Amino acid sequence: MTDALRLTRAHFPVTALGPGTRLGIWLQGCPLACPGCVAKDTWDPDGGVTVGVDVLLDDVRRAIEEGGDGVTVSGGEPLEQAEPLAALLRGVRELSANAVTPLDILLYTGYERAELDVSQLATAALADVLITGRYVVTAPTGLIWRGSANQEMHLQTPLGRTRYASYLDYEPAAPPIQIETSPDGDAWWVGVPNKPNTARAIEDGLRALGYRVTSVSWRRPAP
Among 68, 76, 78, 160, binds ligand SF4 (CB under 6 A): 76
Q: How many helices (H) and strands (E) does the chain have?
A: 5, 10
3-state secondary structure of 128: coil
The alpha carbon of 214 is separated from its chain's Cα centroid by a whole number of angstroms, namely: 18
Stretch in the footprint of ligand SF4 (CB under 6 A) among 30-38, 55-63, 84-92, 121-129: 30-38
Counting contacts by CB under 6 A, is residue 24 touching ligand SF4?
no
Q: How far is the CB of 164 from ligand SF4 (least distance, A)?
A: 20
Cβ proximity of 176 and 202 under 8 Å: no
Cβ proximity of 107 and 129 under 8 Å: yes
Q: How far is the CB of 134 from ligand SF4 (least distance, A)?
A: 5
Which residue is closest to ligand SF4 by CB? 110
Q: Which of 92, 4, 30 is nearest to 220 (CA)?
A: 30
Binding to ligand SF4 (CB under 6 A) within 117-146 occurs at 134-135
User: Which CB, 133 or 160, lies closer to ligand SF4?
Assistant: 133
Among 70, 110, 175, 191, binds ligand SF4 (CB under 6 A): 110
Counting contacts by CB under 6 A, is residue 28 touching ligand SF4?
no
Q: Which residues, including other chains, have CB under 8 Å from residue 111's CB and lie 6 or more apart?
A: 32, 77, 79, 120, 132, 133
Q: How far is the CB of 183 from ligand SF4 (least distance, A)?
A: 30
Binding to ligand SF4 (CB under 6 A) within 157-176 occurs at none
Q: How far is the CB of 140 from ligand SF4 (least distance, A)?
A: 14
Cβ proximity of 71 and 60 under 8 Å: yes
User: Which CB, 3 or 41, lies closer to ligand SF4?
Assistant: 41
Q: How many residues bind ligand SF4 (CB under 6 A)?
A: 13
Residue 202: enclosing H or E segment and its boundaries? helix 198-208
The alpha carbon of 125 is separated from its chain's Cα centroid by a whole number of angstroms, namely: 16
Report how far apart, in Å, the C-alpha atoms of 135 and of each of 97, 132, 194, 202, 209 are. 33, 9, 11, 19, 29
Counting contacts by CB under 6 A, is residue 177 touching ligand SF4?
no
Q: How far is the CB of 197 from ligand SF4 (least distance, A)?
A: 16
Q: What residue ranges bind ligand SF4 (CB under 6 A)?
A: 30, 32-34, 37, 39, 42, 75-77, 110, 134-135
